[in-house]
Amino acid sequence: MALLSYRSKPHCGGQGVYLRHLSRELAGLGHAVEILSGQPYPELDRDDIALTKIPSLDLYRDEDPFRTPSRAEFRDWVDVLEFAHMRTGGFPEPLTFSIRVLRELRRRRRDFDVAHDNQVLGLGNLGIARLGLPLVTSIHHPISVDRRIELEAAGGVLERLGKRRWYGFVAMQSQVSRRIGTVLTVSESSKVDIVKDFKVDPRDIEILPLGVDTRIFHPRGARVPGRIVAMASADAPIKGVDVLLRAVAKLATERDVHVVVVSRPQKDGPTERLVRELALGERVRFVHGISDGELGELTASAEIAVVPSRYEGFSLPAVEHMASGTPLVASRAGALPEVVGDAGVLVEPGDAEELAAALRRLHDSAEERERAGAAGLARVQERFAWPAVAQATVGHYRAAIEQQRYRRLAARR
């Protein structure tokens, strides 16, 4: 199995987390798994999972984003395309990774029975079918939704033009998704959005929810009084951290609460400026680069967890909070109602007043926190497990292999 991922950040971002856990469970089932990834490369849980690095110019590395590579770093025309695309305001990685990985698969076609595209959806992926290699594609949610929310949050004409250019790759992903064959997605909500925005035939889309690693996320005993925890990209409007901070600022005037956000905000970016504007001071703390064990301890130490997103195609953080037995407040947005069900408190996305009221109610009632935490934990144990996800995914691999076999037989007649 070749798992294809243009970036595989292991501790945040749904694509990297998905790749890590799925590869582990596939290998555990006895399959030979190889990951083909660009930077940042994944962290893998088993020594028998192979990693083939498909290096980009790494233009968005955390310590030097939008960098200018030295002349010696340019290897071929794809590197030139990648740099030129970035310098003109676009995001080139899905396209350039798909070209590079097609080269690798062309050279090694006989090494694999099936390929699984982890939401690359680059034009190069269309060439995989011409190699005769069965392909399954995951779309966690269409990035058109992120684009729409970012454009709504943009402050002026120039910023809107910049966002449109950055998200130019979405048109390519839409085109590829209609031609790529079987698509796996994580929720009914994401399926509706893929049909609506990408115009994919709903008959080509299969729903397969994600799982949670209960070795990391589980109840651990005592919780820190007044602690609220969220795992969300701080400066991305779609994740709603601004709404959470405004709600905590309201609550902190009358309750002894503080919030820990697992994220790394841009230095002097919109989130840091909002923290200063709200005078939150020591009431808010951002953490990043922590280990899995530390993340599990943090989520289990919270009295309340929050997923304040304006949209989610699934939300692994929501499931991870519930697996920790932490009472959850989540936005009534995207797939969150589908994932959370009646095991958490749902509020209107973007409404800081309603979020503050929900946090106040849970903060003041140990009984309600206990009930919500137990309900979330029970829901996870019943519905979300990575071994089951891997088993079901293998079924889709086998179907894709069988379809390819029939195509070959038909071509001979």
**Which pLDDT tens digit goes with each residue over 11-68?**
556 788 899 999 999 999 999 999 999 999 998 999 999 999 999 999 999 889 999 9
In angstroms, how far is CA 233 from the centroid of its own chain?
10
Mean pLDDT of 81-102: 97
- The CATH H-level (homologous superfamily) assignment of domain 2-211+386-411 is Glycogen Phosphorylase B; (3.40.50.2000)
* In this structure, CATH architecture of domain 227-383: 3-Layer(aba) Sandwich (3.40)
- The ranges assigned to domains in the chain are 2-211+386-411, 227-383
- pLDDT (0 to 100) of residue 188: 95
The reply to whether 2-211+386-411 and 227-383 are identical in fold is: yes
d(CA 146, CA 309): 11
The per-residue pLDDT for range 127-180, each reduced to its tens digit, is 998 999 999 999 999 999 999 999 998 989 999 999 999 999 999 999 999 999
Helix, strand, coil shares, percent, the chain, to 5: 50, 10, 40
- What are the residues whose beta carbons fall under 8 Å from the beta carbon of 83, sequence distance 6 or more? 57, 59, 68, 69, 74
pLDDT greater than 80 at residue 207: yes
Q: Which two tokens stand for residue 81?
A: 């395309």
Instruction: Please check whether residue 159 is in contact with residue 131, taking contact to mean a CB–CB distance below 8 angstroms.
Output: no
Mean pLDDT of 403-412: 86
- pLDDT (0 to 100) of residue 74: 97
DSSP bridge partners of 50: 34
Q: What is the DSSP letter of 289?
A: S
pLDDT band, residue 245 (cuts 50/70/90): very high
pLDDT greater than 70 at residue 10: no
Instruction: Please check whether residue 299 is in contact with residue 320, taking contact to mean a CB–CB distance below 8 angstroms.
Output: yes
Considering the chain, what is the average pLDDT of its residues? Answer: 95
Look at residue 231 and give its three-state secondary structure: strand
- pLDDT (0 to 100) of residue 129: 86
DSSP bridge partners of 37: 5, 53
Mean pLDDT of 337-355: 97
- What are the residues whose beta carbons fall under 8 Å from the beta carbon of 266, sequence distance 6 or more? 234, 235, 272
- pLDDT (0 to 100) of residue 17: 87
Q: What are phi and psi of 236, to 5 degrees?
A: -90, 115
d(CA 194, CA 184): 11
Share of the chain above pLDDT 70, in %: 99
Lowest mean pLDDT among 3-12, 85-94, 339-348, 375-384: 3-12
Half-sphere exposure of 336 (CA within 13 A, CB side): 24
DSSP bridge partners of 34: 2, 50
pLDDT greater than 60 at residue 409: yes
- pLDDT (0 to 100) of residue 13: 61
Using CA atoms in the order 315, 318, 320, 325, what is the torsion angle rounded to 10 degrees? -170
Mean pLDDT of 198-217: 95
- What are the residues whose beta carbons fall under 8 Å from the beta carbon of 289, sequence distance 6 or more? 11, 264
